[in-house]
Structures are given as structure tokens and as C-alpha cells.
Amino acid sequence: MSSQIPQQGSDLPAHARERLKFMRGDATHRSLFTSDLSVNEFLLVREAGFDPVGLVVGSSIYHIGFQFAGYRQNMEVNVLTQAMYHARELAMTRMEEEAAALGADGIVGVRLEVTRHEWGESLAEFVAIGTAIRSRDGQSFRNARGMPFTSDLSGQDFWTLLQTGYRPVGLVMGNCVYHVAHQGIGQWMKQVGQNVEMTNYTQALYDSRELAMERMQAEALSLNAQGIVGAQIHEGNHGWGSHVIEFFAIGTAVIASAPDHEVPPPALSLLLND
């Protein structure tokens, strides 16, 4: 029974291991891949010299703690920031482990989702899901940590990125949960009826976005990446009341795989489709 309980980032449930073992194929089983790639994506990934090896998932159900935040104070809610980050990381690590068990070089099309269930107030489920791929010529594409790279690139984006002489090293993320101060009567009196910038609100949201971006960049640097493409900033409120907001920055860290980055100029074309 104990083997079915996923331990902190070090082991996978027994069923997952069994599934992955069958997918790899052995003397009695033929290997089989599953994927959530579309037909075009599948062909482009093949064209880029990779084979899909299987759909991989990582999941973590996390109990999110509580932190008291001053009613009139702009501040980062560290407990929530850490919870949201750690839970995502657990899900990502488990997905990477599944991919490693399949002998994959990387994962494309990663989706990272947070869902709340009705059966637990402060519980949230974090799921990472993507398609593990393996390079056909045996060259290792693993990242600085020796784990398969992760990326949220579609098959098309992955092909294009490789064409430009870059390769993904990992999905990098940073987050910040921030408590936006409530407005005092004094300030309300000063601005009533007037056109003014709400600098305290601007500062709160600006700071938290910056913190999320900075953390994402720090994570990319730790992977020895040279850049981040497709960075997005999501804004979320996970049922903490309207004054607590999470900013979540996510992007794909890339590293040069060829010295020159010559890209053939695309031909202009005009679609005749409606």
C-alpha cells in the first residue's frame, strides 16, 4: 500500500511505473506511444528528428496554508506564494520523472493547470500534462539537471525553434501572491470626484508582476539558459477574496544549439482561404 503513495518528488505511484514500463516495451510487449499531438504536430516533431514516446502527467494535491495580511498593507503573501510554487513544482517534477522513466529527452506541449475541488476548501490540485519525446539519433537533449527538458511549445513551435538554432531547456516559472491594501477613508476623501492615478494599487500590481518575472528569470539562469521565449503573465485569484491576486509568469527557457542562427527569410503569401 505504501508504494502507492507518491512521495515528495522522488517516486511515482506503482501504477504509473507499471504503465510506463509497458509503454517502453520489453521481450513480451511491443512498445507503444500515446500523445496529445495533432496530426500536423506529430509529423513536425518527427521531421525535427524526434519520436513521441508517451503522454506523461504529474499531479499534486496541495493544502494551501494561511497568512494574515494587514487590511491596509500592500504586501506579498509569502505562504501562498510558496504554496503555489511548490505545488506546481511537485507536479512538474513528477511529470519529468515519468518522462525520464520512458527514456525521453524532453516534453513538449506542457499544460499546467490548477483546479479546486469542492471537497476541500484550501485544497488545490495541480496537474502538468504533456507529450514526452525522444531524439532519434541518440543525441541527448537533457538539461543542466540531467532531466528531460520541459516546454509548453506546440509541435509547430518546437520545429520552428530548432530551425532557428535554439533548443528548449525547460519550462520556467515564477509567481507572486500579493495582498492589495484596502483604501483608507483619508485617501478616499482626497480623491473623491477627481481624476487621479491610484498609485498604491499601481505599485502593488506592478511590484507583484515584476517579482514574478524576476523569479522566472532566476530560474532560467539556474538552467544555464540564454533566453526565454513565449513568456506569459497570468493573473489569477484562487478563491482568496478580491484583494489577493496571484501573478504567474511562465515561459520556455532556450539555449543555442548551433553557433549561427540563420533563418531563411519567409516568403510572403496571401491566403486565399476565407
Q: Would you count residue 201 as binding other proteins (CB under 8 A)?
A: yes
**In this complex, which beta carbon is closest to other proteins, that of residue 8 or of residue 199?**
199
Binding mask 173-192 toward other proteins (x if CB under 8 A, else -) reads: -------x-xx-------xx
Which of 83, 170, 213, 248 binds other proteins (CB under 8 A)? It is 213
Binding mask 79-118 toward other proteins (x if CB under 8 A, else -) reads: x---------------------------------------
Cα separation, 129 vs 61, in Å, equals 15
Q: Would you call 259 exposed, middle or buried from its count of C-beta atoms within 10 A (0-12, 13-18, 19+)?
A: exposed
Q: How far is the CB of 130 from other proteins (least distance, A)?
A: 16
Single-letter code of the amino acid located at 173: M
Single-letter code of the amino acid located at 200: N
**In this complex, which beta carbon is closest to other proteins, that of residue 31 or of residue 203?**
203
Distance (Å) of CA 84 to CA 91, 182, 238: 11, 23, 10
CA R_g for the chain: 22
Q: Would you count residue 123 as binding other proteins (CB under 8 A)?
A: no
**In terms of DSSP bridges, do strands 123-135 and 106-116 run parallel, antiparallel, or are they unpaired?**
antiparallel
Q: How far is the CB of 71 from other proteins (least distance, A)?
A: 12
Q: Would you count residue 251 as binding other proteins (CB under 8 A)?
A: yes
Which of 1, 10, 68, 189 binds other proteins (CB under 8 A)? It is 68
Which ranges of 48-142 does DSSP label H, i.e. alpha helix?
78-101
50-63: strand order across its sheet: 50-63, 123-135, 106-116, 149-150
Which of 82, 122, 135, 200 binds other proteins (CB under 8 A)? It is 200
Nearest 5°: the CA angle 38, 40, 45 is 95
What are the residues whose beta carbons fall under 8 Å from the beta carbon of 129, sequence distance 6 or more?
Answer: 36, 55, 56, 57, 58, 95, 110, 111, 113
Which of 34, 82, 122, 163 binds other proteins (CB under 8 A)? It is 163
Which of 46, 89, 207, 257 binds other proteins (CB under 8 A)? It is 207
Please report, as ranges, the residues that interact with other proteins according to CB under 8 A. Answer: 66-68, 74-75, 78-79, 153, 157-158, 160-161, 163-165, 180, 182-183, 191-203, 205-207, 209-211, 213-214, 216-217, 220-221, 225-233, 242-243, 251, 261-274
